[in-house]
Amino acid sequence: MQPHSRSRQVERLLAAFKDARRPAILLHDNPDPDAIGSGLGLAKLLQARLQLCAPLVHGGVVSRAENRSLVEELHIDLCSAARFDWSAADAVALLDCQAASGNHSLPPGLIPVVVLDHHPLAGEVHADTLADIRPDYGATCTILTEYLEDAQVHVDERLATALFYGIKTDTQDLGRQASGIDALAYLRLFVAADKRALARIQNPRLPRAYFRAVHDALERVEIYGEAAVARLGDMVMPEATGETADLIVRLEGMRWSLAIGRYLDRLLFSLRTTEVETDAGAVAHQLVAQELVGRHGRAGGHWRLAGGAIDTSAMAPAAISAIEDRLISAFLTIVEAPAAGASLMAFSAEPAPVP
């Protein structure tokens, strides 16, 4: 984009809040560092240019230890969407997700004035919403970094740390889904970031329950040719599917991983692939589409990572179990994996050959 059109883009964003007195920034449910960092970025922009104070609101929980550590280390205030007074909010921005993507707690009928996201277009955008959706970007934090720069708003150490960590985690240090623009933002933010805080955020102390969950997850991994599948059952934290899928796709010889588990009234799944040319998001959409007759659910993601959720409220455990069976077998068919698997932990380790 040309410099003048970029500064015009900032003015368009600010114009969406010009009559606002009580704006709010809604992050997606169970917000990750990219949602939290970009939320902090937008709050700073609104505060610096319009003297508006916009709270960060989200549904679900922040339970992944690194994400909790980010919130605590940088003293970030987050409000629960369930307790938030939506009737007082007069301008809501939606970050790192879209109205049609379903993974947020926007009250029905409330139209966001702004949507900033880097996921592929998920459906119709309301005519009254200013949508800046850039699927070629690796992180929403990169979009906010550009806005702050174009608006000539100073990015202090705390904000640089949050934005950097958002780009770092969403792109796996630029190794996944990153563009040259992400790389530029990542490098410049790193210079300004608090490196000691970053070190503490990335290596938080972990509760004993975490190790128990990892142990249980690994015992549930089945290998089907080049696909690893973990059926996690009831989970204590919603991020467990993503963490497990990330871990098991790294097993030697794997091209795909799927982790599936239950959290509250939802069946959650995460998909990963090592295939550069494959669109994991398309696979996730296919999986959810097959299960959606008469039910609520969603799928999202692109390139090498994706996920989805299916509403299982009021369903008997046996019916949920049957959905899991069908999702797994549909997944194995789509990725052309054999239908019979073997437990990851059941193999007997061969002694390493003596050189």
Nearer to Mn ion (CB atom), residue 97 or residue 288:
97
Instruction: Tell me the closest approach of the beta carbon of residue 244 to Mn ion, in angstroms.
Output: 19
Give the per-residue contact string, 93-112, with Mn ion (x = CB under 5 A; - = no).
---x----------------
Please identify, among the stretches 42-50, 79-87, 90-98, 144-152, the one whose residues bind Mn ion according to the rule CB under 5 A: 90-98
Instruction: Tell me the closest approach of the beta carbon of residue 316 to Mn ion, in angstroms.
Output: 35
Nearer to Mn ion (CB atom), residue 140 or residue 241:
140
Strands 130-133, 114-117: pairing kind: parallel
Please identify, among the stretches 3-11, 70-78, 89-97, 233-241, the one whose residues bind Mn ion according to the rule CB under 5 A: 89-97
Nearer to Mn ion (CB atom), residue 67 or residue 312:
67
Q: Which two three-digit tokens encode residue 175?
A: 């190794």
Nearer to Mn ion (CB atom), residue 106 or residue 139:
139
Q: Pick one of 66, 73, 150, 170: the residue that binds Mn ion (CB under 5 A).
A: 170
Total binding residues for Mn ion by CB under 5 A? 4
Instruction: Pick out residues in 112-141 that bind Mn ion (CB under 5 A).
Output: 140
Instruction: Tell me the closest approach of the beta carbon of residue 44 to Mn ion, in angstroms.
Output: 18
Please identify, among the stretches 124-132, 168-176, 294-302, 332-340, the one whose residues bind Mn ion according to the rule CB under 5 A: 168-176
Tokens 């390493």 belong to 352
Instruction: Tell me the closest approach of the beta carbon of residue 198 to Mn ion, in angstroms.
Output: 18
Q: Binding to Mn ion by residue 239, rule CB under 5 A?
A: no
Instruction: Pick out residues in 140-159 that bind Mn ion (CB under 5 A).
Output: 140
Nearer to Mn ion (CB atom), residue 178 or residue 259:
178
Q: Of 107, 10, 6, 77, whose CA–CA distance to 49 is shortest?
A: 10
Residue nearest Mn ion by beta-carbon distance: 34
Strands 91-95, 23-27: pairing kind: parallel
Nearer to Mn ion (CB atom), residue 34 or residue 222:
34
Q: Pick one of 20, 23, 34, 178: the residue that binds Mn ion (CB under 5 A).
A: 34
Please identify, among the stretches 10-18, 92-100, 211-219, 275-283, the one whose residues bind Mn ion according to the rule CB under 5 A: 92-100
CB-hemisphere CA count at 13 Å for 65? 13
Instruction: Tell me the closest approach of the beta carbon of residue 303 to Mn ion, in angstroms.
Output: 12
What residues line the site for Mn ion (CB under 5 A)?
34, 96, 140, 170
